[in-house]
Amino acid sequence: MTKLPFPKAVLFDFDGVVVDSANCHNDAWASAFREIFNKEICPYPSNTHAGKAPYLIAEYFAEYGGDVNKGAQLNSLKQEHILKTTVPPTLLPGAMEIQQFLEQNKIPHGIASNAYTGFVQNSVNQTGIGFKVCMGVDLFKEPKPSPVPYLTLAEKLGVKKEDYAQTIIFEDSLTGIKAAAQTGMVAVGVLTQYSEEELLANGAVKVFPTLLEAYQEIVSL
């Protein structure tokens, strides 16, 4: 694909695409882990768990803590901790510009994240970016890499199947790009954590450094 189609709808992942919230998540995992296991947490397993559902990450940390059966407890406590943070995540380049462009042009758009809806909505409120439709993993029957989150979001936005070829999905993780590629929509990678080669190999049809470059291409169409 040399150029993106002018979109009839745009679907976004959240972390790593719209915002950088790594510090928010890491701090919440660490504080919840200390409360349950009374020791310091191990490094976040980004190579194997980036973009995965929180309960899977919780199971990984709980196993390190010595009791994998406490994964559900850790996951629940982490969600409590992250919703109490007063420090907003950082908006990534192009996020505000592309959202405002879509809003002004009445192009349906929204967020489908493997994070929980409460965190996504709280972050949207804190940063002031104008997403009105935010869906988290708690609203989906299956998390990414299943295509269910994006298919569910598309349905909520009223996107018709015949418009999927002009519906863009922005993703930065291999988990997410695999989900996007299965939908029949236009899976586009963002170079937050993986290489262009990795994203293309897992289903991306095109890759941009950030949303800013994607936005610049879309407005030039």
- With a cut of 80, say whether residue 87 has pLDDT above it: no
| Whole-number pLDDT of residue 31 | 93
Distance CA 86, CA 126 (A): 8
In a domain, 179, yes or no: yes
Residue 51 reports pLDDT greater than 90: no
Whole-number Å distance between alpha carbons of 195 and 201:
10
Beta bridge partners of 15: 19
- In whole angstroms, give the CA distance from residue 119 to residue 25: 10
> In sequence order, what DSSP letters do the residues of 51-90 get, joined into one string?
T--HHHHHHHHHHHHT-GGGHHHHHHHHHHHHHT--SPPE
Cβ neighbours of residue 76 closer than 8 Å, sequence gap 6 or more = none
Same domain, 123 and 200: yes
Q: In this structure, are 147 and 187 located in the same domain?
A: yes
Statement to judge: residues 177 and 134 lie in one domain = yes
Mean pLDDT of 9-24: 94
Residues 189 and 131 in one domain: yes
| Average pLDDT for the chain | 95
Residue 2 has pLDDT above 90, yes or no: no
Identify the CA nearest to 173 among candidates 12, 9, 32. Answer: 12
98 and 194 assigned to the same domain:
yes
Same structural domain for residues 182 and 120? yes
pLDDT of res. 38: 96
**Helices 117-127 and 71-83 sit at what angle, rounded to 10 degrees?**
20
> Taken in order 1, 209, 134, 176, is the CA torsion positive or negative?
positive
Instruction: Provide the domain count of the chain.
Output: 2
Is 16 inside any structural domain?
yes
- Last residue in a domain, options 36, 65, 83: 83
The encoded tokens of residue 174 equal 């291999």
- The reported pTM is 0.85
More confident residue, 54 or 18: 18
| 151 inside domain | yes
Q: Which domain holds residue 51?
A: 22-83
Looking at 23-32, 90-99, 123-132, which range is the least confident one? 23-32
- Domain shared by 16 and 57, yes or no: no
Please report the pLDDT score of residue 53 as a whole number: 87
